[in-house]
Amino acid sequence: MSTTLRSGPRAPDAILIITVVLLLAVGLTWLVPAGAFDRQQVGTRTVVVAGTYHAVEPAPVPWWGFFTAPLKGMTDPDAAMIMAFALLIGGAFAVLNATGAIDAMLFRVLRMARDRPALRRFVIPLLMLVFSIGGNTFGMSEEVLVFLMITIPLAKSMGWDTLVGVAIPFIGAGVGFAGAAFNPFTVGIAQSLSELPLFSGWEFRMAMWAVLTAIATAFVMRYAARVERDPRNSVLHGLPRNGIEHGELVEQALTGRRIAVLLLFAFTLILLVVGVNSYDWYIEEIAGLFIAMGIAAAVIGGVGANTAARAFAGGAKDMVVAALLIGLSRSVLIVMQEGRIVDTVLFGLSSSISGLPSGVSAQLMFLVQFAINFFVPSGSGQAALTMPIMTPLADLLHIPRQAAVIAFQLGDGLSNFIMPTSGVLGCWHRRRSLRRVAPLDREADGAADRGRDGLPGPGGQHGALVVRRVLGTMRRARCFPPRP
């Protein structure tokens, strides 16, 4: 039986969507009345003064402004700094990944879970915690794909189904991403645009992250227990399955060097918290910290200079689309500012919901961010597009700016679980998606049955083909949007 997966209707590219928004912004400067609020400086923040809106002289942007705006957006000092920050952080984490330390740690956790039956009940919580930490700290998202080749066979060997093997990394990293306290690509950029201290409020976010991770873990454990009691409870039960040829995957050993790299990463996060809270570190210092981490990781991990340089360039390359989205989003704001319609939009939004309790207004912000993620699946791009509007709107509605940032990160993060445009998860929600996942069951069965310990290796190599098919299908379906 053929298992070729057909891609559904393709969603518009995020860059295309931002370009259309830019064109609309130019048109709106000719239609929307110009106006302005008075502003005052409160500490380090520029705050909109409620009740001071007034009409000003119109300044519609000419048609050629559409073509000059992108360069203005990308050379805007604030946008340029954030774009460079994203590129440098992406490169630094790529060097960390090049050491193999994170992969080796996950392999070790998986092996411990299989070798010690007493740890069986802790398999799902432990693995989901590890993936959630990845989403919390460096925005792990598409990276989880490579771990399908070990989590799916492991889940099958435990008596669960393929969906559990998919859920462990996807949902784990997803809730970590949504409730992140230290993700530089979402929280960091949103707080920077909101004129908030970088990673401020991390205590509340860590509590939120813990709650989201606990709920997600309980959900997956409950489903796994139902499948273990009766395989007919699986949502994949009765769907067709068939197998394919063998594949290969070499396990990463957790060497002393890699343990040292993991300790370096933990020390970097501790230093980040101390620097932000005690020394008012901002983008420059944090970027420098992660660059230093990348260099130290390459030295400690024994990664050659050329290999580290190529890894850094590759990581920065992965962030180019996100950086472009940040610059293009800034150009939308610049056009609206030149046309003097930003405050008119703010006045209209604030007037329409001014009578609502602040809690309800914050929920509406969340819903707006939730919906926008359908069109702009990049977290950093969405932050750059929405926070310059949401921040002064929060001031007018007497909502803390931190609440506006949380509305953004939850709206962006939680919508990733259901939005068809949101990263690799979107592919699982395409039409008849579960029927497309079902044929992977037999490959997972092969890896679980043939492997001595349920992990891919010399004795069981089918698992590699699972992810190979998933990756190939997702590439054909263009399921890889810009990284956060």
pTM, whole model, 2 decimals?
0.68
Residue range 227-254, pLDDT digits in tens: 988 888 888 777 665 433 333 445 678 8
Mean pLDDT lowest among 22-31, 170-179, 228-237, 276-285: 276-285
Q: CB under 8 Å to 164, separation ≥6 — which residues?
A: 124, 155, 158, 220, 223, 224, 227
Q: How confident is the model at residue 241, as a pLDDT?
A: 56
More confident position, 480 or 413: 413
334: CB partners within 8 A, 6+ apart: 69, 72, 73, 76
- Half-sphere exposure (CA, 13 Å, Cβ side) for 216? 29
Closest to 370 (Cα-Cα) out of 403, 417, 334, 322 = 417
pLDDT (tens digit per residue) in 142-160: 667 656 766 787 788 778 8
Q: Which residue has the tokens 């774009």?
A: 83
Burial status of residue 222 (CB atoms within 10 A of its CB: 0-12, 13-18, 19 or more): exposed
Averaged pLDDT, 153-174: 86
Q: Are strands 54-55 and 35-36 parallel, antiparallel or unpaired?
A: antiparallel
Length of the chain in terms of residues written? 484
What per-residue confidence (pLDDT) applies to 427?
Answer: 47
Q: Which residue's entry shows tokens 């660059």?
A: 291
* Residue 5 predicted with pLDDT over 70: no
Residue 54: helix, strand or coil by DSSP?
Answer: strand
Q: Shortest CA distance to 462 belongs to which of 227, 242, 141?
A: 242
In 3D space, the residue among 410, 425, 418 whose CA is nearest the CA of residue 180 turns out to be 410
pLDDT value at 57 more than 80: yes
Place of tokens 């260099």: 295
DSSP H or E stretch at residue 35? strand 35-36
DSSP characters over 198-235: TTTTHHHHHHHHHHHHHHHHHHHHHHHHHHHH-GGGST
Task: Please compute the mean of the pLDDT values over residues 44-66 and round it to a whole number.
Answer: 86
**pLDDT of 4 strictly over 50:** no
Distance of CA 76 to the CA centre of its chain: 25
In this predicted structure, which of 205-209, 356-360, 441-445, 452-456 has the lowest mean pLDDT? Answer: 452-456
Q: What number of helices (H) and strands (E) belong to the chain?
A: 21, 4
Compute the distance between CA of residue 248 and CA of residue 457 in angstroms, rounded to an integer.
Answer: 7
Q: What is the dihedral of CA 340, 341, 343, 349, to 10 degrees?
A: 180
High-pLDDT (> 70) share of the chain, %: 77
- Share the mean pLDDT of the chain: 79
Q: Which residue has the higher pLDDT, 70 or 279?
A: 70
pLDDT at residue 48, as a whole number = 76
DSSP 164-194: HHHHHHHHHHHHHHHT-SS-IIIIIHHHHHT
Per the model's pLDDT, the better-predicted residue between 358 and 215 turns out to be 215
Summarised one tens digit per residue, pLDDT across range 331-375 is 988 998 899 988 888 888 778 877 788 889 899 999 988 888 766
| Phi, psi (degrees; rounded to nearest 5) at 457 | 175, -165
Closest alpha carbon to 150 in 480, 466, 471: 466
* DSSP for 56-76, written as a single string: ----PPPTTHHHHHHHHHHHS
